[in-house]
Structure 1
Amino acid sequence: MAVGAIAAVVLPTLPTIVPTAHAYESHYQEFYTPPAQLPTAQPGALIRSEPSRLVLEPSGQLGAYVATGTRIMYSSTDARGNPVAVTGTYFEPDNPWPSDGPRPLIAFATGPYGLGEQCAPSRMFNQGIHFSQGFDLMFGYEEGFIATMVARGFAVVVTDGVGLGIPGAIPQFLNRLAAGTALIDAARAAQKLPDTSLESDGPVAFWGWSSGGQASASAAELASTYAPELSVVGTWSGAPPADVAALLPYIDGNLLAGATGYVLNGIVASYPETGEALAGTLTPRGTQMVTWSRSICTLQSVANYAFRHLEFWFNTDLYELVGSDPLKGLLDAQRLGTLKPRGPVMISTNRWDSFSPWAGSHQLAVDWCNKGADVELWTNEQPPFLNKLSINHLLPYFVDGERGMQWLADRFNGVPATSNCSEL
């Protein structure tokens, strides 16, 4: 909470912009507001939990999760290792685990949903679709994966990530350390929940696509030292932004150009001392974009900022800014591939991904292979199509997600992974 408050001060605020979405979320305030004094327990400790309604769409009548939902708040650590409260949802399957051994747990990091507190995935599971005003519209676009996982007997815990959903906080978006620890601690918290079918030492796997792919990859890298007690059997990472700085040419003029505001807000939320300097690099249009990005979800961001060129948001050369400190050092710190992952990893990406480039995923696989990891790089060969719409970033997730789920099922069933390191 303190980091979010500082970041809100150092990033410029436009008084003419008064987001009203939070008024529609007032019934969430009590649960999502962390206690004034966080527990001194180890990361992954449960702070509170309550039953959570699970729906695929607002009425709850058109299909259903075959699972029982529990909203959780648990302790974790942020970008600098400070204690922080994080929220999420645990899915207890109605169906039994059909194979031998204890029920497995998938710790799931979502792709980008936006920075506004109303965008938190754990709130989407209650609503199916969120709408308050304008284009403040959001839905759980990954709910089909989770519904399939629980139907197959996997337990699933979905983290909101550091800051998302917490009133007054700014999410530490695309911060490697915060993303990884929040996902790991979600798994720890789920295994501590009472009255579930999980065992405290049962098998765990990490899953994530896009920004969630960064989180799952980071969790795999951090698990050996941060959570040596977890029985991590595998990690699926879809289109991970392994090198954040390398995204710039792809974000420019993209449907998802508004992600620039997410990244800048994430940097300042993680490292508040950068706020004043970064604010000084913004044009008035850039100031508006960064400020408004803190209050909206992804669809609103697309409606406001699709296909914008980055040069109009900055009063200095952006590539020079990114190529010099302090920003260069901060972005370099987000690079994946510097640590050996725990357990086998599957990276799934498209050859012509127009948002998170294939070259970054390939280099991540090479870096991990060079460290002796068990890595399978799966390349989707869907040809490039309307690049600035990021179709080659979005569509392969839904094409290859089934492959990823089967890959995890094999890991839980003790089937040896097949590495293709020798072919990279």
Structure 2
Amino acid sequence: MPLRLRFLAVLAAVTTAAAVGVSAPAQAAVTIPAFYTPPATLPAADGALIRSEPLPLALSLPGITGTLPGTATRIMYKSTDSNGQPVAVTGAYVEPAARWAGGGARPLVVLAPGTMGQGDQCSTSLALQRGLILGTENDQLTVSIGYEVLSIYRLLAKGIAVVQTDYAGLGTTDRLHTYVNRVDEGHAVLDAARAARALPGTSITAKSLIGLYGYSQGGGAVASAAELQATYAPDVKVTATYAGAPPANLAAVTAGIDGTELAGALGWSINGFAQSDPELRSVLDRYLSDSGRTVLGRLSSMCVGDAILNFAGEHSSSWTTTGQSVTEIIAAEPLLKSFIDDQRIGTRKPAGIVRVATGTSDNLVPHRQARTMAADWCALGGKVVYAPVVLAPTISPLINHFGPLLTDQGTAVDWLGRRLAGVPAASACALLPLQP
């Protein structure tokens, strides 16, 4: 059975077991393990390991020489946030059981997860352990499914080592997750590679090629990392990056998400903006209604499933005293507009070669702004392979966004695997003007 179908079958079994009360990797109540509480003092070096421990995988099978797909380790490492302050970030490293057949040292891929939420229980490293998180958080139902397992396991099946970042504030209990902050996310991705190389007992060597993989929020994170590599982490030599559906222009993405099934992501963005730049709090205070503050407070501890169940279809105009949407407020407030403009990805030449994939019918993380990012990189002399994913549009923006994730995932993993095996790929910027 193909890996994708095996994964879906196991995930369906896990979900069914939880629903009928059978033992499964789900929690009756959400408890964040003590591991996720950072120490008072952090190391000086970015990417330095703070702590690690074995991580039992929710979905694993016995193999001839060990556990498939591999052996996992939960990690906490030091990074630097967008304000230049030290921050502890968690994640997971998985040593593959499969042999690397590509020649040379086993490569490493840093996987940046798609949107998981803003509650600490939503972190991908916890999802790897529990599979399905179903319980209560702050007296409300919380639902989180580790959907990134599919892409992680596809990479592991090729013998590629994977380190996954939870991002700043997602999992760690000392701060709020700064959702779609490009610098926080880009730094977390690059420092995850450093942390993986520092982890003892792995097959990663100094000669291991490094790739980056991400879709949606993750696509933006790895795109940012590819841009920041030269100045922030020149020691992390990035060979190739897959950036799927990147939210490169947050003004366009904000307009696209408002009123959709994933409207809650607007709240995560606003919460994160206020944490990253405290000066924005006074701007938000002028516009947020009491009900809007309540919504943002609830969203700060929610996962994707919770947000869809509670806020699907809501418009941000219902959160403000003026009836203006978040998009209209960004346009009206210079401080907020400047902050959003500074989040734009596509203004710096990326490291290595980047495959940018975007669904032509994606109106949640709009196709056009992702294509613009690819074109901007080409204009800067970047090596880009632009891959529009043509699917028929549906009435659901969420399906229009996630359809390309599954449709293109196998192709994306294969493309990245070939680059890490040393097979070169030429930039295809000359073709971009001819593509949708």
TM-score normalized by structure 1?
Answer: 0.90
> What residue in structure 2 maps to residue 223 of structure 1?
229
Q: Deviations over 1:13-47 (max 9, x none)?
A: xxxxxxxx999444602x1111111122x100101
> What residue in structure 2 maps to residue 382 of structure 1?
391
> What residue in structure 2 maps to residue 112 of structure 1?
115
Where do 5+ consecutive residues of structure 2 fail to align?
1-25
Contact 2:61 2:69 in 1 (8 A): no
Describe the SS at the equivalent of 1:114.
coil
Deviation at 1:395, TM superposition (A): 1.2
> What residue in structure 1 maps to residue 41 of structure 2?
37
- Give, as a single letter, the amino acid of the residue that structure 1 aligns with 2:41: Q
* Percent sequence identity over aligned pairs: 41
Give me the CA root mean square deviation.
1.9
Return the alpha-carbon distance in structure 1 between the equivalents of residues 301 and 145 of structure 2: 16
Describe the SS at the equivalent of 2:260.
coil
Contact 2:32 2:121 in 1 (8 A): no
Return the alpha-carbon distance in structure 1 between the equivalents of residues 358 and 181 of structure 2: 20
Return the alpha-carbon distance in structure 1 between the equivalents of residues 49 and 174 of structure 2: 21
> What residue in structure 1 maps to residue 414 of structure 2?
406
| Aligned mate of 1:192, from 198, 206, 212 | 198
- Give, as a single letter, the amino acid of the residue that structure 1 aligns with 2:375: V
Return the alpha-carbon distance in structure 2 between the equivalents of residues 303 and 227 of structure 1: 40
Contact 1:111 1:213 in 2 (8 A): yes
Return the alpha-carbon distance in structure 1 between the equivalents of residues 72 and 421 of structure 2: 25
Return the alpha-carbon distance in structure 1 between the equivalents of residues 68 and 83 of structure 2: 36
Return the alpha-carbon distance in structure 1 between the equivalents of residues 280 and 316 of structure 2: 20
Return the alpha-carbon distance in structure 1 between the equivalents of residues 61 and 233 of structure 2: 40
- Give, as a single letter, the amino acid of the residue that structure 1 aligns with 2:407: V
TM-score normalized by structure 2?
Answer: 0.88
Instruction: After the TM superposition, list the runs of 4 or more consecutive aligned residues in structure 1 that deviate by more than 3 angstroms.
Output: 21-27, 60-65
Return the alpha-carbon distance in structure 2 between the equivalents of residues 380 and 135 of structure 1: 35
Contact 1:146 1:156 in 2 (8 A): yes
- Give, as a single letter, the amino acid of the residue that structure 1 aligns with 2:330: V
Return the alpha-carbon distance in structure 2 between the equivalents of residues 65 and 354 of structure 1: 37
Contact 1:68 1:92 in 2 (8 A): yes
Return the alpha-carbon distance in structure 2 between the equivalents of residues 417 and 369 of structure 1: 15
2:304 is the counterpart of 1:298: yes
> What residue in structure 2 maps to residue 334 of structure 1?
343
Where do 5+ consecutive residues of structure 1 fail to align?
1-20
Deviation at 1:377, TM superposition (A): 0.9
Deviation at 1:154, TM superposition (A): 0.5
- Give, as a single letter, the amino acid of the residue that structure 1 aligns with 2:48: A
Deviation at 1:402, TM superposition (A): 0.7
> What residue in structure 2 maps to residue 12 of structure 1?
none
Return the alpha-carbon distance in structure 1 between the equivalents of residues 90 and 194 of structure 2: 13
Contact 1:220 1:235 in 2 (8 A): yes
2:92 is the counterpart of 1:89: yes
Return the alpha-carbon distance in structure 2 between the equivalents of residues 288 and 313 of structure 1: 9
| Aligned mate of 1:164, from 160, 167, 170 | 170
| Aligned mate of 2:105, from 97, 102, 106 | 102
Contact 1:374 1:417 in 2 (8 A): no
Return the alpha-carbon distance in structure 2 between the equivalents of residues 92 and 81 of structure 1: 32
> What residue in structure 2 maps to residue 13 of structure 1?
none
Contact 1:22 1:117 in 2 (8 A): no
Deviation at 1:72, TM superposition (A): 0.3
**Residues 228-247 of structure 1: pairs in structure 2 closer than 5 A:** 228-247=234-253
> What residue in structure 2 maps to residue 28 of structure 1?
33
Q: Deviations over 1:68-120 (max 9, x none)?
A: 01000000011112111100000001112112110000000001111111111
Equivalences, count: 398
Return the alpha-carbon distance in structure 2 between the equivalents of residues 238 and 285 of structure 1: 34
Return the alpha-carbon distance in structure 2 between the equivalents of residues 128 and 23 of structure 1: 13
> What residue in structure 2 maps to residue 7 of structure 1?
none
Q: Larger deviation: 297-306 or 225-234? A: 225-234
> What residue in structure 1 maps to residue 71 of structure 2?
68
Return the alpha-carbon distance in structure 1 between the equivalents of residues 62 and 414 of structure 2: 26
Change over 3 Å in CA distance of 1:295–1:27 after alignment to 2:
closer
- Give, as a single letter, the amino acid of the residue that structure 2 aligns with 1:394: F
> What residue in structure 2 maps to residue 154 of structure 1?
160
| Aligned mate of 1:270, from 276, 294, 305 | 276
| Aligned mate of 1:48, from 51, 61, 64 | 51
Deviation at 1:52, TM superposition (A): 0.5
2:430 is the counterpart of 1:422: yes
